[in-house]
Structure 1
């Protein structure tokens, strides 16, 4: 089997070959895939020079934000949906130290899109959730800057992993990528704490690295409970536990969970297996019942898909690879 890893010194030819390995595998292994790899996105993959940890899509303005780690590197790269490089957030460790997750939020009143980042670093604004303008200006900070902890008042994070927004601007946060905390929480749009669910363990409502968080089409909260090999479901108003899926994850931990643009399925990444799963979304709120895998993409070895973002207009999604040092785009298959 051809084994390729796209390091930061990779040439365009090596990158293209790696893209095509996954692309050809999809076409050969499935008569009707849900998505196919776009082997030519972005147009300048050599701009990826560090580990790529997350992606966020501003579908209102046609931009894709890619986050990377590495000494001296700009932490955020911005591309057009067509893959043209547009700009970057310049390196300033006092503002952005070590990004883990990212999410775009569109403000309907101001008609602006903001980029939200979770920062797990130890610098002056580390261990926080931060809001930036699309040009890179810092606008808000949630948490206790530079200080990891377990407190809820004042709010502290430790290795805060992921963030998602509800329809009214409320904020849901997964706090615990291996740090002091194993919890999720809801904040109102003014950053006030509404509820939280916490505790280490494998029983319902407990977590062992809540790595990713998502809101479904019923407004319910899904959590990729990574080391428990499951996704858990919670009521968005109360935080009450509603159910979980385990059968789909017996062969791999769920690292990221995002809902497809048409709301018919979830897109779930399994880093250790280099796999993308497509799991049917529930048809009614409440207990989700059994999980059903409706498709998958087996990626090239050692790419290690970490987090992803979905374009709510086109249905395309972008996968951040910490092993491949790249971000790849998958588009809906139109056979």
Structure 2
């Protein structure tokens, strides 16, 4: 019965006027500054927006062997949209996830290197997990890891997504603690865990992308519930708002009509849809493969686009 009620609430929300609107002219990047596919986005307590991008590099099989020579991390002032700094040149093969933790450090995943990194906001390397360029499924290796979620004690979860379809838990020092998940459609199983976040209740929220659902777990990986429906769609990225609401970017299912693909979704802590905004397309406020989502301390929402190769800012309608 709960699932039926939930789906009805999703359909109802689809016809409401969006509560978030795009901020036109944001960001204000210098001429010639190349973002390319924007894979990850996060915001720190100083309202600095960090974008992890591929600087023109395209996904290929196999991945290139050489690192991207251009900067792959752009730091943007959330209020003005002005570019503050760049770094990350000659470090990454295929940028993917970006998470800003409570201390302001950045956690980056590279699916080409099969590694997870912790950096200062200025780009100083603090921690590396995984063996460079070597995929694996043991406790010391990843296989195309996608994202990181960090707890207040600095321990963290990694969604080891494309191949191993698992979530791994590590101590603050990077020591493996436990893991859960395998390939499948059942509770606690995944078909590409793509984004991950931890809410204020300590629940681990995983974007089970190809199963088109969010799965919620307790801190030890115990399955709690799944949220799915037409408005959640195919969740690529998930972020927490300051109010405790959950924000999801739906990358869009190819099986749907264009007008039903790709939007951002705001849910309350019980999974009820509060708002949906954006649509498929290349115009302002539209998305071409939304890939990640983050919420600033002031409640502004930022969406990183894949094919659209940009980052957009949304604010709540007054």
The unaligned stretches of length 5 or more in structure 2 are 1-14, 58-68, 253-260, 283-287
Distance between the aligned counterparts of 2:289 and 2:236, measured in 1?
Answer: 10
Quick one: structure 1 residues 185 and 50, their matched pair in 2 at CA, closer, same or farther if it must change by over 3 Å?
A: same
Give how far 1:248 is off. Answer: 4.7
1:117 aligns with 2:117: no
Q: Which digits, 9 at most, give the CA deviation of each residue in 1:151-170, with x for residues without a partner?
A: 11xx1111100111112211
- TM-score for the superposition, normalised by structure 2: 0.82
1:158 aligns to what SS in structure 2? coil
Aligned match for 2:130, one of 130, 137, 143:
143
Equivalent residues of 1:50, 1:73 under 8 A apart: no
Q: Give the deviation of 1:292 after TM superposition.
A: 2.4
- Counterparts in 2 of 1:1-335, with a 5 A limit? 31=17, 33-44=18-29, 46=31, 47-59=33-45, 61-69=46-54, 70-71=56-57, 72-81=69-78, 82-92=80-90, 95-107=91-103, 113-121=104-112, 126-152=113-139, 155-176=140-161, 178=162, 180-236=163-219, 238-248=220-230, 252-263=233-244, 265-272=245-252, 273-282=261-270, 291-301=271-281, 303-311=288-296, 313-333=297-317, 335=318
CA RMSD of aligned residues (A): 1.8
Conservation of the 8 A alpha-carbon contact between 2:114 and 2:142: yes
Count of residue pairs the alignment pairs up: 277
TM-score normalised per structure 1? 0.78
Contact kept, 8 Å, 2:238 with 2:294, in 1: the verdict is no
Contact 2:102–2:152, Cα closer than 8 Å, also in 1: no
Whole-angstrom CA distance in 2 between matches of 1:222 and 1:90: 28
